[in-house]
Amino acid sequence: MTDASATAPRRPGEQALAALGLGAPDLSPADASPHTFPGGGRWRTEIPSCEGPEALAVVLKESSRLDVPIHRISQGSGVWMLTDAEITEMVEATAARDIELCLFTGPRGTWDIGGSTRTDSGGAGLRARGHDAVAGCVEDAIRATELGVKCLLVADEGVLWTLHRARTAGIIPADTTLKVSALIGPVNPASYAVYENLGADSVNVPSDLTLDHLTEIRRLSGTPMDMYVEAPDDLGGYVRMYEIAELIRRGAPIYLKFGLAKAPGIYPYGHHMRELTLATARERVRRGRLALDLLERHGVGDDMAPLGTRLPGELKRFDAPV
């Protein structure tokens, strides 16, 4: 069902439900986030789980074919799972398209000798266990940034704080951005603000947060938010396609992450998983096209941040010790 007002901002099914006397309550202006990315725009896009140059090439080709704009491409296996030549190839390919490349620092959680993550409670989560694990993350960060990587993924508060101090001290470039993984994503405004102060430039919140939770966070912090519009099964498998316009309204500035439910995990990636990794990379881009089509149909797709933008703007930080 379409009409002449289809390009005006609207909720899914709004006209039909209103005609049946089932219209939703008016949206409250107080619920909307007051924040934007620097330079304007309320949302950016991210394709996650891009595990090497070959998967990256598939993503770039498919994004051109389907006209899916990409601001950031991220990888989950870790810097240590890539050779220098592979990292350089990925840096050059993303730079040619003015896309930010984000690689994960490791070791962490289930990829070390700790067993508590395998308990029912999940133990300490996928954090860096001990001094040596933190040192490994720092080693990854230095190596990646020396090869031209400008964004690093972290899954540990101590690693985040350490890398923020490292860029303040000039050990890694000052314009390196630090992204907090969904593996430790905060679920309340107070913890979200702590990550901002520890050095986060974007924070991946769990995809099961309610719209009201997003509004609560935005009343305290303007740090860019990352959210899986479709989450992998090991992060819950949530699919929130029809909420995408409201996720932007409540959560801006927000990275829309196009994950993939009902697909096997691929971390840490190796060539024995090549066909699956390439197929899922291609499908993530297609999921992005579906999400963007929804935005366009609901008349709210015009406030995307300009392509090529990557910095988060001015954020609050704890004072680093001298």
pLDDT along the chain (322 residues), means of 10: 55 83 80 93 96 96 97 94 97 97 84 66 72 93 98 96 97 97 92 97 95 96 95 84 92 95 83 89 95 88 92 92 68
Does 43 reside within a domain? yes
* pTM of the model as a whole: 0.91
Does 309 reside within a domain? no
pLDDT at position 29: 83
Report the domain count for the chain.
1
Say how far residue 214 (Cα) sits from the centre of its chain. Answer: 15
Tokens of residue 230, six digits: 């479709």
CA distance 201 to 77: 21
pLDDT at position 128: 85
Report whether 209 contacts 183 (CB < 8 A): no
Residues shown for the chain: 322
Q: How many CA atoms lie within 13 A of 128 on its CB side?
A: 25
Does 306 reside within a domain? no
Does 128 reside within a domain? yes
pLDDT at position 120: 63
Range of the domain at 180: 32-297
In this structure, which amino acid lies at residue 275? E
Long-range contacts of 202-208 (CB under 8 A, 24+ apart): 202/177, 202/226, 202/255, 202/312, 203/179, 204/179, 204/180, 204/228, 204/257, 206/182, 206/235, 206/236, 207/182, 207/231, 207/235, 207/236, 207/238, 207/240, 208/236, 208/238
CA distance 236 to 243: 17
202: three-class secondary structure by DSSP: strand
In this structure, which amino acid lies at residue 270? G
pLDDT at position 302: 87
Does 313 reside within a domain? no
H or E element that contains 129: none
Does 318 reside within a domain? no
Report whether 289 contacts 53 (CB < 8 A): no
Does 26 reside within a domain? no
Does 315 reside within a domain? no
CA distance 248 to 11: 13
Task: Name the residue among 73, 97, 66, 99 with its Cα closest to residue 293.
Answer: 66
pLDDT at position 270: 82
44: three-class secondary structure by DSSP: strand
Q: At what angle do helices 211-218 and 244-251 cross, to 10 degrees?
A: 20
Residue 243 sits in a domain whose CATH number is: 3.20.20.70
- Annotate 229-246 with b (16+ C-beta within 10 A) or e (fewer): bbbbeebebbbbbebbbb
- Annotate 86-125 with b (16+ C-beta within 10 A) or e (fewer): bbebbbebbeeeebbbbbbbbbbbebbebeebeeeeebeb
